Copies of this chain bind each other. A is one copy, B any other.
Amino acid sequence: MGDTGQRAAVEDAGRRDFLKGALLAGGTVATAALGATSALSQPGPVPGTTNHYHVPATDKTVHWGYFSKLLKPLVEVNSGDFVTIETLTHHANDDAERMVKGDPGAESVYYWDKQRKGVDRRGAGPMQPTLFGRGAGEGLGVHICTGPVAVRGAAPGDILEVRIIDVKPRPCANPQYKGRAFGSNAAAWWGFHYKDLLTDPKPREVITIYEIDATGERNWAKGVYNFQWTPQTDPFGVVHKIIDYPGVPVDHATVKENHGILKNVRIPVRPHFGVMGLAPSEADIVDSIPPHWVGGNIDDWRIGKGATMYYPVAVPGALLSAGDPHAAQGDSELCGTAIECSLTGTFQLVLHKKDTLAGSALSGLEYPLLETQDEWVLHGFSYPKYLAELGPQAQSDIYSKSSVDLALRDAFRKMRHFLMTTRGLSEDEAVSLMSIAVDFGVTQVVDGNWGVHAIIKKNLFAGTP
């Protein structure tokens, strides 16, 4: 991977000690180093064929708030291998009793006392928080990402196919809430609604805790309680008047829990990964918030069980990470977050080498593409390659330049390219077809680089001989 020296930039900065022994490669299933999840159901390995790896979520296996091509992979897999990746929500400390307590993996990641944090760097900002004084990494990027997983032989120009075989909620480890799982929704300052509230006090940030059935019997979530964010003092003594740094433990003695909310409302669950993608090539350390052409924080709820993602590979080994797990989200993620809820996913990784792509649906793919049983979903962004497009200040400028209109423009161009290259349509055929049979929706308006997705149903081409 050629990471000697390079990775120092990331690793020196934090306290990263990459897990080595706990991840077993080749024919056996590695179990969670810290025993975070106890009841994994895994297919048996077939020696000599595909392998199945397990990547737990611990302070040693996550990178918090950023992607980096300099990170040493936790494991290197072959094309065709399976990997189970545990992911933790970065909102678990909104209610540590329900989402951290008793869970060794989560406890190791969230560990924070006066002396140290389990994971110090949170975000792509400076380790000395000279910009805003929030903390290491400055919260310029918020998602706990597990990874990266390297794919043997992957090189820039290839496509990595990620088949989402299974997605399971991470059960609450606190015996008080046995059989349940929980998530948090933050209606936060970066939400679309924030400066447009009707009722007092204005503005305000509100956390809503949701309960999900960890057994999978129930396909809906329900509200448990909500509270208004109050200034929270972190263990290092920094006061967070707003939600400006991820993982700040909420002291529930300082907030007023309103129970009995959303009475009788059943929220259909749509478990998916808000963040999944490959390491970008343009910068050494990249804020996890804005989605980019090799994936990341796309926040499309369709990226769930049964779906397949295709990502362009930008760096050797591809370097796949996953995080920002969601139990449910609507198109737009309007208030800033989904039901942020720890999940474990099982994936099969298939590498498509550049020289095999000609004439396939992956030819010329320069964006994250989603395939479901019935649909292709193309992801447009305000700035599809913002790191290259916006220059040296791209990672801050992106937050002031996005619009849905720009993202729609990008989604249009991508769908036209898809129809012309993969279906051999003329531009006139493609443009007409888009207007009569492609649905454009608002993916998210809260991730700096706003998103619009374009959905085309596969049965349009069912008549192909």
A residues sitting closer than 8 Å to B (CB atoms) are 185, 187, 191-193, 196-199, 206, 208, 210, 220-223, 226, 228, 261-262, 264-268, 328-339, 403-405, 408-409, 412-413, 416, 423, 425-429, 431-442, 445, 452, 457, 459-465
Bound: A441/B261 CA distance, A: 27
Q: Name A333's contact: one of B221, B266, B435, B465 (CB within 8 Å).
A: B435
Per DSSP, are chain A's interface residues mostly helix, strand or loop, or mixed?
mixed
Write out the residue numbers on chain B whose beta carbons fall within 8 Å of the beta carbon of A339. Answer: 436
Q: Contact between B192 and A268 (Cβ–Cβ < 8 Å)?
A: no
Q: Contact between B333 and A460 (Cβ–Cβ < 8 Å)?
A: no
Q: Contact between B403 and A435 (Cβ–Cβ < 8 Å)?
A: no
Q: Contact between B335 and A427 (Cβ–Cβ < 8 Å)?
A: no
Q: Name A206's contact: one of B226, B262, B432, B463 (CB within 8 Å).
A: B432
Bound: A432/B196 CA distance, A: 14
Write out the residue numbers on chain B whose beta carbons fall within 8 Å of the beta carbon of A331. Answer: 438-441
Q: Can you spell out 17 A-B residue pairs with CB atoms less than 8 angstroms apart?
A: A191-B435, A193-B416, A198-B427, A210-B436, A262-B429, A264-B464, A266-B463, A268-B457, A268-B459, A329-B435, A330-B434, A332-B408, A332-B438, A332-B440, A335-B432, A338-B435, A441-B442
Q: A404-B405, A434-B334 are in contact. Are A264 and B463 (CB under 8 A)?
A: yes
Q: Contact between A416 and B198 (Cβ–Cβ < 8 Å)?
A: yes
Write out the residue numbers on chain B whose beta carbons fall within 8 Å of the beta carbon of A220. Answer: 463
Q: Name A337's contact: one of B199, B208, B413, B435 (CB within 8 Å).
A: B435
Write out the residue numbers on chain B whose beta carbons fall within 8 Å of the beta carbon of A452. Answer: 442
Q: Contact between A405 and B408 (Cβ–Cβ < 8 Å)?
A: no
Q: Contact between B432 and A185 (Cβ–Cβ < 8 Å)?
A: yes
Known contacts A206-B428, A442-B452; 18 additional CB pairs below 8 A are: A187-B428, A196-B409, A196-B412, A206-B431, A223-B432, A264-B464, A265-B460, A330-B435, A331-B441, A332-B408, A332-B434, A333-B435, A335-B434, A335-B435, A404-B442, A405-B445, A439-B441, A440-B442
Q: Contact between A432 and B192 (Cβ–Cβ < 8 Å)?
A: no
Nearest chain B CB to A337's CB is how many angstroms away? 7
Q: Name A193's contact: one of B197, B431, B460 (CB within 8 Å).
A: B431
Q: A187-B431, A267-B460 are in contact. Are A408 and B442 (CB under 8 A)?
A: yes
Write out the residue numbers on chain B whose beta carbons fall within 8 Å of the beta carbon of A409. Answer: 192, 196
**Most chain B beta carbons < 10 A, residue from A338, A436, A462, A463:** A436
From A332, which residue of chain B is reached at the shortest CB distance?
Answer: B440
**Most chain B beta carbons < 10 A, residue from A220, A330, A413:** A330
Q: Contact between B412 and A192 (Cβ–Cβ < 8 Å)?
A: yes
Write out the residue numbers on chain B whose beta carbons fall within 8 Å of the beta carbon of A425. Answer: 262
From A194, which residue of chain B is reached at the shortest CB distance?
Answer: B431
Write out the residue numbers on chain B whose beta carbons fall within 8 Å of the beta carbon of A461. Answer: 264-266
Write out the residue numbers on chain B whose beta carbons fall within 8 Å of the beta carbon of A438. Answer: 330-332, 334
Nearest chain B CB to A326's CB is how many angstroms away? 8
Bound: A268/B432 CA distance, A: 14
From A335, which residue of chain B is reached at the shortest CB distance?
Answer: B435
Write out the residue numbers on chain B whose beta carbons fall within 8 Å of the beta carbon of A403. Answer: 403-405
